[in-house]
Amino acid sequence: MPELVINGRFRHQRLTGVQRVAVEITRRLKTPYRIVEPNKDANGGRGHLWEQLVLPVRAGRQLLWGPCNTGPVAKARQIVTIHDAAVLEHPEWFSPNFARLYGQLLPLLARRIDRVVTVSEFSRERLSALLGIGLDRIAVVPNGVSHHFRPVPEAERDLPPALVGRPYFATLFTREPRKNLDLVLKAWKAARPQLPADTVLAVIGGRGAAGVFGEGRGESEVGDDGVVHCGYLPDAVLPAVLSGAWGLVYPSLYEGFGLPALEAMACGTPTVVTALTSLPEVCGDAALYVDALDPRGLADAFLTLAGDPAVRADLGRQGIARARLFSWDGAAARMDSILAEQL
pLDDT tens per residue, the chain (343 residues)? 679 999 999 998 777 789 989 999 999 999 999 999 998 766 778 888 999 999 999 999 999 999 999 999 999 999 999 999 999 999 999 999 999 999 999 999 999 999 999 999 999 999 999 999 999 999 999 999 999 999 999 999 989 889 999 999 999 987 678 999 999 999 999 999 999 999 999 999 865 443 333 333 333 334 568 999 888 888 889 999 999 999 999 999 999 999 999 999 999 999 999 999 999 999 999 999 999 999 999 999 999 999 999 999 999 999 999 999 999 999 999 999 999 999 8
**CA-to-CA distance for 123 and 171, rounded, in angstroms?**
24
- Strands of the chain (E only): list them: 4-7, 33-36, 63-66, 78-81, 115-118, 138-140, 168-172, 200-204, 227-231, 248-250, 271-274, 288-290
For the domain with range 154-323, which CATH number is right: 3.40.50.2000, 3.30.420.10, 3.40.50.2300, 3.30.70.2740? 3.40.50.2000
Domain ranges of the chain: 4-144+327-342, 154-323
Q: What is the pLDDT of residue 224?
A: 67
Q: Tell me if domain 4-144+327-342 and domain 154-323 are identical in fold.
A: yes
Handedness of CA 10, 11, 12, 13 (dihedral sign): positive
CATH number of 4-144+327-342: 3.40.50.2000
Q: What is the pLDDT of residue 123?
A: 98
Are the C-beta atoms of 153 and 235 separated by less than 8 Å?
no
Q: How many residues does the chain have?
A: 343
Q: What is the pLDDT of residue 176?
A: 78
Q: Report the half-sphere exposure of 48 (CA within 13 A, side-chain side).
A: 10
Neighbours of 107 (CB within 10 A): 15
pTM of the full structure: 0.89
**CA-to-CA distance for 241 and 154, rounded, in angstroms?**
10
**CA-to-CA distance for 146 and 315, rounded, in angstroms?**
20
**CA-to-CA distance for 64 and 116, rounded, in angstroms?**
12
Are the C-beta atoms of 270 and 288 separated by less than 8 Å?
yes
Name the residue among 146, 124, 151, 149 with its Cα closest to residue 135.
124
